[in-house]
Chain A
Amino acid sequence: MNISTEIELGLKRLCNPALINDKCFQTLLQKAEKILGTLLDDTSEQTFDNDSTVCITSKQDIAKEAYASLITLFIIANRHCLDGKSLNQNLQTIVLANTDRLSEIIKTYESVRPRLLEVSKITTTSLANVVDVECRLDYCVQSSVFDDVSEFLYKVRLKTIDNGTIKFIDFVCNIQELQELVFKLKDAVRHLEKIASAS
């Protein structure tokens, strides 16, 4: 895990009680936990609430630097899939001290890690993701061209999520076509089950 000197400095300052007092340290940790723990969460309020920033009594610029370093550290650690224990070792070599603050940082990291992991898994380039399907069976009686059509038509709608936006793909199948589609899907599922049971 490579950490730039700027981040190293920020972390050292974060663990230095002379620069960041205990109350401020706690506030920064809580803020980091809140922000990272609710990433991409629609219901969470991503904006800064003033109540918590009021508590920052240490120097504002140092507090900001320390906060940014803390967030960056968590993201990088998560990127390398580090657990709390290995992050602790890394952090000790960076900060060159073993204060109580380290264990608090690790504790926060462990609490936000599941959400971070989830978010970083979906933060990637990918094709439109099919998440759901709807199906409707129509019986076409007549059309402007043919007096007597009399055929069953399945209207299939695939719900996809492409980079966060929901899109629908609509198409129709007659009975033979739907049979073929289901056959192909069954084939795929069968192969997946085979792979899953073999591993």
Chain B
Amino acid sequence: MSSVKEVFKISFQLLAQQTDNVIKDFLRLTKDFMDNGPNSSLYNKAAEKLQIDEDKIISIVKSICLMCVQSCKHKLTDLEIKESLTEYGFNETKLDMIILFFENQKPYLLDILSSSALVFPHFKELEWRFETDMGSRSLLHQTVPVVTLKLDLEKKGISESLFLQTNPLNLVHIKDTLEAALKQNQSQWIRKIRRKLK
């Protein structure tokens, strides 16, 4: 059994030998694969038309798909992709076609990849309302200031609303703490870390 790397290599070498129009067809097949999943009747037709095994057609489609996903994962630039594909024998026009296809698919791929990554609930929106408690069963007359908060968090496109409350003193404390944390981002130490890790 050949490794993924070998299949990838053979598929791209085979693709490089095809005419521009055939490459266009392959890119169209890949788009269909990304959008709707595998479609054997399409591959069957293509195999008959090009006189290539259906398995090889499928390998080429999957290899193009893999190339796009890996390029997204490694955040490769167009130039880097071109350089890595030249070794399979693509000419300039064919490379441009592949790059154009990749650029078109990139936003969708990034979207799918980000949503499959480890995701915490993200802050989305905060609404607040200032109220005063006027009376309760246990205390008929009172004036207790209350700040009611609606905190919206978002996780993988699903948002969740949390209803909370606090008093003015705590609100000021929360504001001060988070404001200080935000300022911390500009400190020399953080800048140094950012430079070292880039």
Contact = CB atoms under 8 A, between A and B. Distances in A.
A146 B123 contact: no
B181 A137 contact: yes
A182 B166 contact: no
Contacts of B92: none
A145 B145 CA distance: 47
Contacts of A132: 170, 173-174
Contacts of A68: none
- Counting chain A residues whose Cβ lies within 8 A of the other chain, the interface size class is 35 or more
A117 interface: yes
- What are the 8 tightest A-B residue pairs by CB atom distance, in nearest-first order? A120-B138, A185-B175, A145-B117, A130-B166, A135-B181, A124-B136, A120-B139, A172-B120
A4 interface: no
B178 A178 contact: yes
B126 interface: yes
Nearest to B154: A171
A15 to B, nearest CB: 26
A45 interface: no
A165 interface: no
B163 to A, nearest CB: 5
A27 to B, nearest CB: 27
Contacts of A133: 173-174, 177-178
A141 interface: yes
Contacts of A53: none
B157 to A, nearest CB: 15
Contacts of B149: 130
B5 interface: no
B1 interface: no
B55 to A, nearest CB: 29
B168 A192 contact: yes
A120 to B, nearest CB: 4
Contacts of B136: 120, 123-125
Contacts of B173: 132-133
A173 B197 CA distance: 20
Chain B interface, DSSP helix/strand/loop, else mixed: mixed
B97 to A, nearest CB: 26
A6 interface: no
Nearest to A150: B198
A181 B133 CA distance: 26
A137 B130 CA distance: 30
Chain A interface, DSSP helix/strand/loop, else mixed: mixed
A81 B198 CA distance: 64
A7 B120 CA distance: 57
Contacts of B148: 127
B164 A173 contact: no
B99 to A, nearest CB: 20
B142 interface: yes
A185 B171 contact: yes
12 contacts: A79-B139, A120-B136, A123-B139, A124-B138, A126-B146, A129-B164, A130-B174, A131-B170, A135-B181, A146-B73, A173-B123, A180-B126
Contacts of A134: 177
B117 A146 contact: yes
A173 B166 CA distance: 21
A143 interface: yes
Given A135-B177, A192-B171, A172 B122 contact: yes
Interface stretch (A59-67, A86-94, A101-109, A153-161): A153-161
Contacts of A124: 133, 136-139
B121 interface: yes
A2 interface: no
Contacts of B146: 126
